[in-house]
Structure 1
Amino acid sequence: MKFKSKKDILFSIIIIGINTFLFGIAILGIIRGEMEKGEYWTLILILSVIGLLFWLFFGTDYELSKESGLIYRSGPFNGKISVDRITEIIKGKTLWIGFRPATSRKGLIVKYDKYNEIYISPKTNETFIAKILELNSEIKITE
Structure 2
Amino acid sequence: MRFKAKRDMAFAAMMIVSISVIALACLVPSYFAIYYEAEPEWLAVIILVGLFILCTGFMIWIWMDIEYVLLEDYLYVRGGPFRSKIPYDQITRMFESNNMLIGYRVLSSKDALEIQYKTGLMGSIIISPENKQEFMEELRKRCKLL
**TM bucket, shorter chain:** 0.7 to 0.9
Mapping 1:1-143, distance limit 5 Å: 1-20=1-20, 22-23=22-23, 26=27, 29-30=30-31, 33-34=34-35, 36-39=41-44, 40-67=46-73, 69-94=74-99, 96-113=101-118, 116-139=123-146
2-side partners of 1:126 and 1:117: how far apart?
19
Q: Structure 2 length as normaliser, TM-score?
A: 0.81
Determine what percentage of the aligned residue pairs are the same residue. Answer: 25
**Structure 1: where are the runs of 5+ without partners?**
none
- Are the aligned partners of 2:100 and 2:109 in contact in 1 as well (CA < 8 Å)? no
Runs of 4+ in 1 over 3 A off after TM superposition: 20-25, 27-32
**Structure 2: where are the runs of 5+ without partners?**
none
For residue 133 of structure 1, report the CA deviation from its aligned partner.
1.3
Indicate the larger mover: 84-93 or 1-10. 84-93
1-side partners of 2:29 and 2:103: how far apart?
36
Structure with larger Rg: 2
Give the number of aligned pairs: 138
| Equivalent AA in structure 2 for residue 47 of structure 1 | I
**CA shift digits 1:18-71 (9 cap, x unpaired):** 33554576388359724631211111111110101100110111111123x111
1-side partners of 2:126 and 2:8: how far apart?
15
For residue 13 of structure 1, report the CA deviation from its aligned partner.
1.4
| Equivalent AA in structure 2 for residue 74 of structure 1 | G
RMSD of aligned alpha carbons? 2.4
